[in-house]
Structure 1
Amino acid sequence: MTRIAHSYGVAPSPDAPLLGRRGSSLAGRLQDAFHFPALNTSVAEARRRVLARLQEWGIDEMACDDAQLVVSELFTNAVRHTDSDKVGCQLRVSGAALRIEVTDQGHAPTEPRMRCSGTDEESGRGLLLVGALSQAWGVRPDDSGRGRVVWADLPHRCAP
């Protein structure tokens, strides 16, 4: 059985036929894609969507918590630092890896990068957190060439 969840008109991945679940073990890859308006209130919606999907897929609690934090940071950056009307998110599970991709529509003046924030600053540590929670993360242009995709790979286990 192939299970692909999509919402808000996001097109499936080209490798969508390879995605699926057999019984209680993950087989192939699971995928979900969605987007929300580029509003501060959408960050919490994205976090809830990610948690619901990962729980449905049987992902362990620690990975669910880490994924919510990563999505929250990446979504917040896209909302605050780009001229996007909407922000997209894609989740893919392949083996023991969870890939999170957050896509914006418009370039910010600079590329996302980790920075050292002063102790009295309230923001600026999001990508440090993403780096600490993920096995790897990076930035690439989106398919249109106008926006960016910020991605992070997190480890996970299937919940017992």
Structure 2
Amino acid sequence: MTHIAHSCGVVPSHDAPSLGRYGSSIAARLQDAFHFPALNTSVAEARRRVLARLREWGIDEVACDDAQLVVSELFTNAVRHTDSDKVSCQLRLSGAHLRIEVADQGHTSTEPRARCSGADEESGRGLLLVGALSKAWGVRPDDDGRGRVVWADLPHGRLPL
């Protein structure tokens, strides 16, 4: 697949492998998946679920805050810009990276992309935030080819046990 350069210089990687195939056996145990109805109220539920799971895994507070923001932005985009019935999220730890994947059911002809918003615009900066907080992010088709998965890899630290 080709890489598409987006405005503001944010370039997602479309062909990055899923960490689940390459993660260590320890990281394979540190994963979570959930879905919620594609409603605005589900965004806060997704944030709470992510925070609870990452705290359970002993992830540092900065990474917890960043992950909540990324999930919020990706969930919001899936709710607002697709006609999905549900939005799914998967979290996986692999080494010093946290992979967040948010999947929608598609039904839209445009691909998520970062853009520069004007100072007077109320929205449009979400993927710029995702790009700023993550080591890498991108978009790929979901497993059945109808929807899409937007993913982000975030650095994290584990708190001492």
Give the corresponding residue for 1:22. Answer: none
Give the corresponding residue for 1:8. Answer: none
Deviations 1:60-110 (A, max 9, x none): 000000000000000000000001000000000011000000000023231
Query: Could you tell me which amino acid in structure 2 is paired with residue 91 of structure 1?
Result: L
Give the corresponding residue for 2:146. Answer: 146
Structure 1 unaligned residues grouped into runs of 5+: 1-12, 20-26
2:53 matches 1:53: yes
Deviations 1:18-76 (A, max 9, x none): 65xxxxxxx33310000000000000000000000000000000000000000000000
Give the corresponding residue for 2:43. Answer: 43
Structure 2 unaligned residues grouped into runs of 5+: 1-18
Question: d(CA) in 2 for partners of 1:66 and 1:33?
Answer: 18
Query: Are the counterparts in 2 of residues 134 and 153 from structure 1 also a CA contact under 8 Å?
Result: yes
Query: Could you tell me which amino acid in structure 2 is paired with residue 28 of structure 1?
Result: A
Question: d(CA) in 2 for partners of 1:115 and 1:67?
Answer: 21
Give the corresponding residue for 2:27. Answer: 28
2:126 matches 1:126: yes
Aligned residues: 139
SS at match of 2:35: strand
SS at match of 2:110: coil
Q: How does 1:82-121 map to 2 (within 5 A)?
A: 82-121=82-121
Give the corresponding residue for 2:5. Answer: none
SS at match of 1:28: helix
- Report sequence identity in percent: 83
- Give the Å deviation of 1:14: 7.5
Task: Give the TM-score taking structure 2 as reference length.
Answer: 0.83
Distance change (3 Å), C-alpha of 1:56 and 1:107: same
SS at match of 2:115: coil
Question: d(CA) in 2 for partners of 1:83 and 1:68?
Answer: 23
Greater helix content: 2
Give the corresponding residue for 2:136. Answer: 136
RMSD after superposition: 1.5
Question: d(CA) in 2 for partners of 1:107 and 1:137?
Answer: 21
Query: Are the counterparts in 2 of residues 107 and 148 from structure 1 also a CA contact under 8 Å?
Result: no
